[in-house]
């Protein structure tokens, strides 16, 4: 198990560079097996999810070479093998092997995915999509077995019950090589979906409308990667550092951002009174003055991201008066961090899945646990603000999605260390 040890209360200052988006990367790696030629991904973050996906690829004889931030994936000698358990359980995005294997081989045998403990995460819309394309989906011994008909998958019109990121991407992966046209209605509009479409279109796919609620895919015979693909910056990592900078920063510039991807987040941070200055691809966060409480409601993109509700929570604790409210409409049970913040002296509680926040003069160090990635990010910021020592157990959850986090925090002046413990 990993622990993050923080000696807090030190003002942080300087520059930080955001890595490639976790939620793009974890889609693009499984998507790479659709290519008949080697794939090059650039701007790949150093995160545990990438290591686990590379292990899954190696189980299918797909070679990977990861140097600096460039990941080369050679799927030319791929063998279709079942992916029943093990690493599949270590991350959510392993479900993208369902769509990618189905698209490449017409058959996928994949264990139920793991991922964060943030309440129920059904995959009924993914399965509905595969079935609409003509596949048979069976569920045996905690595995999903998806089989295309003999004549291959066919295009279909699929209306999603909710704009699911995973279902939208999985249907794209399965349908790019299906016969005919697929239309996804009520599709998710996240920037990471546009990134997947760009990646696949550059390999010869025909996908239009990514980033809107209707995506049209014309099936093609084969995909062949020709050019390297640079992954978009991680808007959730950026939002986390913006919150950290406003909580405890003495002037921090955050590089490699796309401002438009942060619109609803920046609007909320600015509503609180945080002063920022945005350049072409960076944002400077001034030391914060007196901040106002706000209400936050998470929504699908372009709304306020559920993955940023925990990272913004410590900032609300710094407001001088009033009551802050956070409602997570995507994952109402994403509240595991509250009890941990209470241990650190946070004036925060939950009533009927609504998070209520009151001004907190000071946090103090404590032994807390990161139940999931963004809870970990929230506790990391709280630990940097707190007086004394904070020990965050299960810090491996932070490393799932925060690129070289120990180095980045140290470069800003933080006293932080990640240790392996028994």
Which residues here bind ligand PEP, judged by CB under 6 A?
Answer: 91-93, 115-116, 118, 307, 373-374, 401
Q: According to the annotation, is 171 in a ligand binding site?
A: no
Closer residue to ligand PEP in complex, CB, 19/365:
19
Quick check: is 74 catalytic? no
Contact at 8 Å (CB) between 98 and 108? yes
How near is the Cβ of 106 to ligand PEP at its closest, in Å? 27
**DSSP H helical segments within 217-360, as ranges?**
235-248, 263-272, 309-317, 336-343
- Per partner kind, with CB cut-offs from 5 to 8 A, the member of ligand UD1, ligand PEP, none near residue 289 is none
How near is the Cβ of 88 to ligand UD1 at its closest, in Å? 14
Q: According to the annotation, is 334 in a ligand binding site?
A: no
Q: Which pair of tokens denotes residue 8?
A: 């807090």
DSSP, collapsed to helix, strand or coil, labels residue 336 as helix
- Per partner kind, with CB cut-offs from 5 to 8 A, the member of ligand PEP, ligand UD1, none near residue 126 is ligand UD1
Closer residue to ligand PEP in complex, CB, 133/373:
373
How near is the Cβ of 50 to ligand PEP at its closest, in Å? 12
Residue nearest to ligand UD1 (CB): 166
The residue assigned the tokens 């994403």 is 334
- Per partner kind, with CB cut-offs from 5 to 8 A, the member of ligand UD1, ligand PEP, none near residue 107 is none
Q: According to the annotation, is 157 in a ligand binding site?
A: no
Closer residue to ligand UD1 in complex, CB, 104/126:
126
Q: Which pair of tokens denotes residue 5?
A: 């040890």
Please tell me the distance from the alpha carbon of residue 29 to that of residue 83, in angstroms, as a whole number: 15
Query: Is 251 exposed, middle or buried, given 0-12, 13-18 or 19+ CB atoms closer than 10 A?
Result: middle
Vertex 371: Cα angle to 84 and 15 (nearest 5): 105
Angle in degrees, 0-180, between the axes of helices 235-248 and 373-385, rounded to the nearest 10? 20
How near is the Cβ of 280 to ligand UD1 at its closest, in Å? 27
Q: According to the annotation, is 138 in a ligand binding site?
A: no
- Per partner kind, with CB cut-offs from 5 to 8 A, the member of ligand PEP, ligand UD1, none near residue 390 is none
Q: According to the annotation, is 216 in a ligand binding site?
A: no
- Per partner kind, with CB cut-offs from 5 to 8 A, the member of ligand PEP, ligand UD1, none near residue 113 is none
- Per partner kind, with CB cut-offs from 5 to 8 A, the member of ligand UD1, ligand PEP, none near residue 265 is none
Whether the bond between 302 and the residue before it is cis, its omega within 30 degrees of 0, is: yes
β-pair partners for 157: 183
Contact footprint for ligand UD1 (CB under 6 A):
23, 26, 92-93, 120-126, 162, 164-167, 188, 306-307, 330-331
Q: According to the annotation, is 352 in a ligand binding site?
A: no
Catalytic residue among 51, 68, 74, 116: 116
How near is the Cβ of 261 to ligand UD1 at its closest, in Å? 13
How near is the Cβ of 292 to ligand PEP at its closest, in Å? 26
> What radius of gyration do the chain's Cα atoms show?
21
DSSP, collapsed to helix, strand or coil, labels residue 264 as helix
Vertex 383: Cα angle to 294 and 340 (nearest 5): 70
Contact at 8 Å (CB) between 187 and 166? no
Length of the chain in residues, anyone? 422
Residue 167's H or E segment, with its range, is helix 165-175
Q: According to the annotation, is 172 in a ligand binding site?
A: no
Please tell me the distance from the alpha carbon of residue 121 to that of residue 115, in angstroms, as a whole number: 9
Q: According to the annotation, is 3 in a ligand binding site?
A: no
- Per partner kind, with CB cut-offs from 5 to 8 A, the member of ligand PEP, ligand UD1, none near residue 373 is ligand PEP
How near is the Cβ of 118 to ligand PEP at its closest, in Å? 6
Strands (E), 219-357: 229-230, 249-255, 276-278, 282-285, 295-298, 324-328, 348-351, 354-357
Contact at 8 Å (CB) between 22 and 49? yes
Closer residue to ligand PEP in complex, CB, 92/154:
92
Question: Which residues are documented as binding site for phosphoenolpyruvate?
Answer: 22-23
Active-site positions?
116
Question: Which residues are documented as binding site for UDP-N-acetyl-alpha-D-glucosamine?
Answer: 92, 121-125, 307, 330
Question: Which residues are documented as binding site?
Answer: 22-23, 92, 121-125, 307, 330
């Amino acid at each position: 198990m990993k622990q993050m040890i923080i000696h807090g209360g030190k003002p942080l200052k300087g520059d930080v560079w955001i890595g490639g988006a976790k939620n793009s990367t974890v889609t693009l790696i499984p998507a790479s097996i659709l290519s008949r030629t080697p794939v090059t991904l650039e701007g790949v973050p150093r995160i545990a999810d990438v290591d686990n996906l590379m292990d899954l690829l190696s189980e299918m004889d797909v070679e990977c070479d990861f140097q600096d931030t460039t990941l080369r994936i050679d799927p030319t000698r791929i063998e279709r093998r079942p992916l029943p358990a093990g690493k599949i359980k270590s991350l959510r995005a392993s479900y993208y092997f369902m769509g990618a294997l189905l698209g490449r081989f017409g058959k996928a045998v994949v264990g139920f995915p793991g991922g964060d403990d943030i309440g129920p995460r059904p995959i009924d819309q993914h399965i509905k999509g595969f079935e609409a394309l003509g596949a048979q989906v069976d569920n045996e011994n905690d595995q999903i077995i998806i089989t295309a008909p003999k004549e291959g998958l066919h295009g279909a019109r699929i209306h999603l019950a909710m704009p699911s990121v995973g279902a939208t991407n999985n249907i794209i992966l399965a349908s790019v090589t299906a016969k005919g046209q697929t239309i996804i209605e009520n599709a998710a509009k996240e920037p990471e979906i546009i990134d997947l479409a760009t990646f696949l279109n550059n390999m010869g796919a025909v996908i239009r409308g990514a980033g809107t609620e209707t995506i049209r895919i014309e099936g093609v015979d084969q995909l062949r990667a020709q050019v390297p693909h640079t992954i978009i910056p991680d808007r959730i990592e950026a939002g986390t550092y913006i919150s950290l900078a406003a909580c405890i920063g003495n002037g921090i510039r955050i590089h490699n951002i796309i401002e438009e991807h942060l619109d609803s987040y920046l609007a909320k941070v600015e509503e609180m009174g945080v002063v920022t200055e945005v350049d072409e691809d960076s944002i400077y966060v001034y030391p914060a003055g007196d901040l106002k409480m706000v209400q936050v409601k998470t929504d699908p993109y372009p709304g306020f991201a559920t993955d940023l509700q925990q990272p913004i929570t410590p900032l609300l604790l710094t407001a001088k008066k009033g009551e802050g409210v956070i409602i997570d409409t995507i994952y109402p049970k994403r509240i595991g961090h509250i009890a941990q913040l209470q241990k650190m002296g946070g004036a925060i509680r939950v009533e009927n899945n609504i998070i209520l926040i009151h001004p907190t003069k000071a946090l103090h160090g404590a032994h807390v646990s990161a139940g999931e990635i963004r809870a970990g990010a929230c506790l990391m910021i709280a630990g940097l603000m707190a007086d004394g020592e904070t020990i965050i157990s299960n810090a491996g959850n932070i490393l799932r999605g925060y690129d070289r986090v120990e180095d980045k925090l140290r470069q800003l002046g933080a006293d932080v260390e990640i240790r392996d413990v028994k």
